[in-house]
Structure 1
């Protein structure tokens, strides 16, 4: 049985979405980020990333983390590549070349896109986003992301998908990274293929189920 450690309001959302796409039964163990709590050691504190029980599973104290029949793994995007490879089907690479492309695009998203996109999502508070520092941060993130959006927009011209001619784990991984920048409408307006692709990804039933559960979690 697959166990996913992490709340839906975290990068664990990526793993919950993929598990839904694959139809995998799993146990969810909600682990709250310690920074969201006033006192992680309070008697009524929920299980969190500094809880001894979780650190015994993942000493890094980061979510998400999975335990797949005794195999423990961290890093959300890598977890998805592993699960897709293990369970096969159209979401996984059908050739060595496709697997390489999925790894390539996932690493690109993690190294070139997410570092900038995450700065945007961290400024969800309106007051923080409208402060001078907030505006400068968002402006810099947009400038860096413009090239990333242009690259993916051109790539999607051929088939509308990241790898091959179908929805795969590569689409899911990138969609979850690009979701962080959804508030920046100008980026998407300048990259219509990216905009249409993300809408298509997010129209999938497994994504909607994941987001519904996520929305019911406390912020």
Structure 2
């Protein structure tokens, strides 16, 4: 059985969502990020990314990590692409061209979108008063995201999905990255096709199942 090391409040959410889409059973080991703990090295600390037993599995000390048939694999996008190819049927590529396009969109999400989208996620809290410095950092991150979103918007204006006319791992990977920025309405309202596509992705029952599990975990 597939094992996923990592809490759902992490990039493991991508892998868990994919497993629910496929109907792939998995065992989850709730490794928590060390930075979320007051003292991750304390004797009574929960299993975390500083724990020796986890570092023995993943010297990089990051989650998620999967184990599947003897393969140990870190990096969440590598894991989703691998699982989609192996188990995903229509969620994975039908041929080499689709495989290349799914990698293209996934890598574009990771390199061109995720860094600034994460800045927005961590610093933009609509219900909390922000410092002037944080507001400026968020505004700058949003400004930088306009360029990649201008690449994504025209494609989604004429296509229901990113690749192959169907929901695939490419949609899932990009949707989970763009989720980090979707709460910043000043940015996202400029890209209605992206927002409509993101809403469709997040209305899927597999996403909702993952999201309910994520919300059930401690913050």
TM-score by length of 1: 0.96
Query: Does the alignment pair 1:108 with 2:108?
Result: yes
1: CA distance between counterparts of 2:204 and 2:126?
Answer: 29
Matches within 5 A, 1:140-155: 140-155=140-155
CA distance in 1, matches of 2:98, 2:126: 41
3-state SS of paired residue (2:110): helix
Using the TM superposition, give the Cα deviation of residue 42 of structure 1 relative to its aligned residue in structure 2, in angstroms.
2.2
Distance across 1 between alignment mates of 2:59 and 2:163:
34
Tell me if 1:217 matches 2:185. Answer: no
Q: Does 1:93 align with 2:70?
A: no
- What's 1:201 paired with? 201
Q: CA deviation at 1:158?
A: 2.3
Shift of 1:125: 5.0
Contact 1:149/1:187, CA 8 A, preserved across alignment = no
On the 8 A contact 1:160/1:193 being kept in 2, the answer is no
| Contact map agreement 1:128 1:134 (CA 8 A) in 2 | no
Q: TM-score, normalised by structure 2?
A: 0.96
The corresponding residue for 1:75 is 75
User: For residue 162 of structure 2, what is the aligned residue in structure 1?
Assistant: 162
Is residue 2:52 matched to residue 1:34? no
1:41 and 1:52 mapped to 2: Cα distance? 9
Q: Which runs of 5+ in 2 are unaligned?
A: none
Count of aligned pairs: 219
Q: Is the Cα contact below 8 Å between 2:33 and 2:49 reproduced in 1?
A: yes
Q: Which moved more, 1:116-125 or 1:93-102?
A: 116-125
Give the corresponding residue for 1:12: 12
Unaligned runs of 5+ in 1: none
**RMSD of Structure 2 on Structure 1 (CA):** 1.4
**Cα distance in structure 2, aligned partners of 1:89 and 1:188:** 32
